[in-house]
C-alpha cells in the first residue's frame, strides 16, 4: 500500500482561525496531516524568527479529525523550523500555509507571515504553497475554495516543484464561481503609507500606521490583474533575492 503524503499545515492567523481549520479538513482528504501553528495571530510578521526569548510548544486537540496538532508561541517561520527539527517523524512531502484571511498578492508577500512560512519550508527543501483569500472576515466562506485547493495541491505532489521555488496562491472574493486559475507574475505595486499621529488622554503621543495600496502595474499577466478579473492567481516565488541581471554591470564599477 502506497504511503500517504505527509503534509505540514501552518499559518499566521493562529491555530484556531477558520482559514487553517478549513485547510486542515481539505488536507485530511489527501494525506497524513500534522499541524504546527502559532497560538495567537502573527500577521505581518514577515520572516521573523525567535532568537532572544524561549519558544513553547504544546500538543492540542482543536476539533475532530485524524490530524496531529501543535500550537507554538513562535512566528510562522518558527513553526516550520520546530516541525522539521523536533516534531515530524520524517521530512514532509508538502507544507501548506493559510488559508490567510486577506490578500498576499504583489508586494504583500514581503510582509506576509503566511508566505514566510511557505518560504521557510522551501529553504528547508520542502515543497510549499501559501494560500490566501481576499476576504478579511473571520466568518468568510472558505469552503468554496476547497476544490481549487485540492487541484493545486495534487498537481504539486504529482509534478513536483523545482528546488528553491514555492507557490503563492490568492483567491479573489466573488459572489460567483472563479473564472479559473491564472499563472502570473507578481505585480509591481506598493503601499503609500503615513503615520497617523494621535495623543492619548495622558498627553502622550502615539502612532497608527495607515496608507493605501497602489498598483502601478498595468500588465495583464500579474496577480493583481487576475484577482481583479475573477481568477485565482498562482505566482511561482523564489527566495534567491540576488539581482542576477545586474551582476555583470556591477562588475564594471570602480570599487
- Give residue-wise pLDDT tens across range 139-155: 899 999 999 999 999 99
Q: What confidence tier does 208 reach under pLDDT thresholds 50, 70, 90?
A: confident
Taking 60 as the threshold, does the pLDDT of residue 163 lie above it? yes
Q: What is the pLDDT of residue 20?
A: 97
Q: Are strands 57-60 and 32-38 parallel, antiparallel or unpaired?
A: unpaired
230, 38, 26, 24: which is closest to 134 by C-alpha?
230
CATH of 6-186+219-250, one of 3.40.1210.10, 2.10.260.10, 3.90.226.10, 3.10.28.10: 3.40.1210.10
- Give yes or no for a contact between 5 and 51, defined as CB atoms under 8 angstroms apart: no
Q: What is the pLDDT of residue 217?
A: 73
- Phi, psi (rounded to 5 degrees) for 217: -95, 120
- Give yes or no for a contact between 179 and 230, defined as CB atoms under 8 angstroms apart: yes
Taking 80 as the threshold, does the pLDDT of residue 193 lie above it? no
Taking 90 as the threshold, does the pLDDT of residue 100 lie above it? yes
Q: What is the pLDDT of residue 1?
A: 52
In the chain, the percentage of residues whose pLDDT exceeds 70 is: 98
43, 127, 44, 41: which is closest to 80 by C-alpha?
127
Q: What is the pLDDT of residue 108?
A: 85
Q: What is the CA radius of gyration of the chain?
A: 19
- The predicted model gives 32-44 an average pLDDT of 89
Q: What confidence tier does 183 reach under pLDDT thresholds 50, 70, 90?
A: very high
Looking at the chain, the number of H-run helices and the number of E-run strands are 7, 11
Q: Hey, is 24 helix, strand or coil?
A: helix
Taking 90 as the threshold, does the pLDDT of residue 32 lie above it? yes
Q: What confidence tier does 17 reach under pLDDT thresholds 50, 70, 90?
A: very high
Q: Hey, is 45 helix, strand or coil?
A: coil
Give domain limits for the chain.
Answer: 6-186+219-250
Cα separations (Å) of 66 from 7, 94, 166? 12, 17, 27
DSSP bridge pairs for 9:
35, 96
Q: Hey, is 228 helix, strand or coil?
A: helix
Distance CA 22, CA 98 (A): 9
Q: Are strands 6-10 and 32-38 parallel, antiparallel or unpaired?
A: parallel
Distance CA 191, CA 205 (A): 24
173, 154, 197: which is closest to 103 by C-alpha?
173
Q: What is the pLDDT of residue 22?
A: 97
189-198, 222-231, 239-248: least confidently modelled range: 189-198
Angle at 245 between CA 240 and CA 246, to 5 degrees: 100
Q: pLDDT by residue (tens digit) across 63-97?
A: 888 999 999 999 999 999 999 999 998 999 999 99
Q: What is the mean pLDDT of the chain?
A: 92
pTM: 0.91
Amino acid at each position: 500500500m502506497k504511503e500517504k503524503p505527509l503534509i505540514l499545515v501552518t499559518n499566521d492567523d493562529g491555530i484556531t482561525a477558520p482559514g487553517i481549520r478549513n485547510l486542515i479538513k481539505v488536507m485530511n482528504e489527501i494525506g497524513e496531516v500534522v499541524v504546527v501553528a502559532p497560538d495567537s495571530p502573527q500577521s505581518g510578521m514577515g520572516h521573523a524568527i525567535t532568537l532572544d526569548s524561549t519558544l513553547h510548544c504544546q500538543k492540542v486537540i482543536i476539533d475532530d479529525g485524524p490530524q496531529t496538532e501543535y500550537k507554538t508561541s513562535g512566528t510562522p517561520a518558527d513553526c516550520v523550523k520546530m516541525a522539521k527539527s523536533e516534531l515530524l517523524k520524517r521530512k514532509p512531502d508538502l507544507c501548506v500555509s493559510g488559508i490567510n484571511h486577506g490578500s498576499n498578492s504583489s508586494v504583500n508577500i514581503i510582509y506576509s507571515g503566511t508566505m514566510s512560512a511557505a518560504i521557510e519550508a522551501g529553504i528547508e527543501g520542502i515543497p510549499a504553497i501559501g494560500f490566501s483569500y481576499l476576504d478579511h472576515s473571520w466568518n468568510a466562506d472558505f469552503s468554496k475554495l476547497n476544490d481549487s485547493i485540492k487541484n493545486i495541491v495534487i498537481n504539486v505532489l504529482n509534478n513536483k516543484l523545482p528546488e528553491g521555488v514555492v507557490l503563492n496562491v490568492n483567491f479573489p472574493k466573488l459572489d460567483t464561481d472563479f473564472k479559473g486559475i491564472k499563472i502570473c507574475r507578481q505585480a509591481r505595486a506598493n503601499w503609500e503609507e503615513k503615520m497617523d499621529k494621535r495623543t492619548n488622554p495622558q498627553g502622550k503621543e502615539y502612532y497608527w500606521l495607515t496608507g493605501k495600496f497602489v498598483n502601478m502595474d498595468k500588465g495583464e499577466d500579474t496577480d493583481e490583474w487576475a484577482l481583479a478579473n475573477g481568477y485565482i492567481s498562482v505566482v511561482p516565488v523564489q527566495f534567491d533575492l540576488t539581482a542576477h541581471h545586474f551582476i555583470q554591470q556591477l562588475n564594471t564599477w570602480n570599487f
